[in-house]
Amino acid sequence: MIDLKCGQYIVLGDLMVDEYNYGEVTRISPEAPVPILKHSNKILFPGGAANVAMNLKELGNNVELVGILGNDEDGNWLRNYLNKSGIGTQGIVMASEVSTIKKVRFRTKVQSLLRVDYESLQRQYCSYAATIIKYIDEFLNNNITDGVLVSDYNKGMIPDTLKSNPYSPLFDKILKKNIICGSDTKKEAETISLYSGFDFLKPNKIELSKVIKRTLTSANLLKRATCEYLMKCKAKAVYLTLGDEGIYYNNCNSEVFCKANKTRAVDVTGAGDTVFAVIMNCLRSNMDIETSLKLANLAASIVIQYNGTKTITKSELLRRF
């Protein structure tokens, strides 16, 4: 019997809105060789760190989400949505100088046509670091916290620098507590050691390749590549997501590979966020690595069967396991 224990988590990172514009394509434009999408509807979803938080919440946990949103229509929609979902949002700064990060997708039921990204300049986030750090400090002092997840899309929330990074002292302080720390980060070789001492990092193949500065071409090289990655980031373990191949775990003393569940992928958006949340929940539950990978693979195989940014629920995950 699988026992996913409930816990209290802090999710820190880049908050964004995933917007989907759906429609039907029946002809090519006479103005240029591009399809014409006859628009039918628009749906918004929490994205980035907000999607990680939503997955943790649906797995039955208490979640405090910390980050920065623009004080605009998208930012207010996301904060309200998170509030209604039962996620703590007091640590979210609503900043008038920042525009909410948004990824706008255009697609039919079966095909993605275009994605347009709206982002703020990274330097606009720096002035809010002290406020964010103070809030996390106070939350940790007043609440029993089981895990901290840093969802670092490298959009500016966590500065891409080692020198005088305001979050380094915070991470050091958290690591001294009995709290599981994980990061899903797009930081590269020069700054990945910001997460030194973390219990785990969860890169995909592209992210790992950028850190070790070479392409991962063969499954036979997984152990060597992930050990190199761990030497760079100085974390304790790595969970490498391999898309439709599965997930590989390594801590340089032991390794486990788990094949992906075969399924038809409709939309892979947010699947990495789901895996990140499930792995953290499994670690909190003292689950063995092999079972954790199986659950994470299963969760990913479920959410990619749907259009849009789908979250996994605890009941659905355990029912299908």
Task: List beta partners, residue 37.
Answer: 25
Q: Residue 73 CB: number of other CB atoms within 10 A? A: 11
> What pLDDT is stored for residue 167 in this prediction?
97
Per the document, the length of the chain is 321
Cβ(183)–Cβ(195) under 8 Å?
yes
- Name 53's Cβ contacts closer than 8 Å, sequence gap at least 6: 11, 46, 63, 65, 82, 87
Helix (H, G, I), strand (E, B) or coil at 54: helix
Say which amino acid occupies 296.
A
Q: Can you list the positions of beta strands (E) in the chain?
A: 8-13, 15-28, 35-48, 62-70, 88-95, 101-107, 112-118, 147-152, 180-185, 200-201, 238-241, 246-250, 255-259
Cβ(204)–Cβ(172) under 8 Å?
no
Please report, for residues 129, 168, 279, 282, 316, the alpha-carbon distance to residue 9 in angstroms, rounded to integers and kept in the order given.
20, 19, 13, 13, 21
Helix (H, G, I), strand (E, B) or coil at 115: strand
Nearest Cα neighbor of 107 from 25, 210, 218, 31 is 25
Please say if the pLDDT value at position 122 is more than 80: no
Say which amino acid occupies 66.
V
Please say if the pLDDT value at position 108 is more than 80: yes
> What pLDDT is stored for residue 123 in this prediction?
74
CATH class (in words) of the domain with range 8-23+39-320: alpha beta
- The better pLDDT of the pair 43, 219 is held by 43
Prediction pTM value: 0.96
Please say if the pLDDT value at position 125 is more than 90: no
Q: What's the mean pLDDT when you consider all of the chain?
A: 95
> What pLDDT is stored for residue 300 in this prediction?
96
> What pLDDT is stored for residue 147 in this prediction?
98
- Residue 211: φ, ψ to 5°: -80, -45
Domain positions in the chain are: 8-23+39-320
> What pLDDT is stored for residue 216 in this prediction?
84
Torsional class of 270: left (φ above 0), alpha (ψ -120 to 50), beta (otherwise): left
- Name 295's Cβ contacts closer than 8 Å, sequence gap at least 6: 2, 4, 278, 282, 287, 317, 321
296 is written with which tokens?
A: 């994470």
Cβ(12)–Cβ(147) under 8 Å?
no
156-167 confidence digits (pLDDT tens): 999 999 999 999
